[in-house]
Amino acid sequence: MRIDEKEFLLEIIDGKKMDFYLEDDMFEIEGRAKKENDEIIIEVLDGVGHVLEICGQYLKLIDRANCLYARRLDTDKIFQMEINRVYDKLTNPAAEDFMKMSNLGVEQFFKKQTDTLVWFDTDQKKWVIELNKINMYFSGDRYYYDTVYELFEENKEQMAGVWQAVYYSSEAESA
């Protein structure tokens, strides 16, 4: 993670949900970050059983030597950490919700359940939906729309459900 990314991340993280990894574990953990006395505390919300046992319920984010770490508050065990996404959840959003969130700095919207990604392509000036993004790579079918309203109209079934309005993603930029 670049220093400018880390500074941005630490600035926006308060009150947001996040998906992250600890150490070299391949299982993603879900949490919620909160600033307390200039420190960031992460409440662990969900993850695979054995990972929840390892990481505990609360972690303190530590920024040291250009790396992020998480210290378990009850045992002081320290893990190297990688933050995958920082987001707010949207349930059954409307086109207006995507517009509002875009104006607040959200660059992409991710529907975890179906691996669907939506973003505004600034080069082409089009809204893009990528259906069934596979294995972290942008490999699904892409469709381009002049407006977010057209995207919602043409993809009604896909747009229903829970979405992540992503402020930060460690994934490669959409191309």
Nearest to 130 by CA among 117, 145, 149: 117
H helices within the chain, ranges in order? 3-12, 49-55, 95-103, 148-154, 156-159
Residue 173: pLDDT above 80? no
Task: Among 43-47, 48-52, 91-95, 107-111, name the one with the lowest average pLDDT.
Answer: 48-52
pLDDT tens for 3-51 read: 556 666 677 888 899 999 998 677 889 999 998 887 899 999 998 888 8
Residues 6+ apart with CB under 8 A from 130: 116, 117, 118, 138, 140, 141, 142, 174
Contact between 70 and 42 under an 8 Å Cβ cutoff? The reply is: yes
Model's pTM, two decimal places? 0.82
Residue 1: pLDDT above 50? no
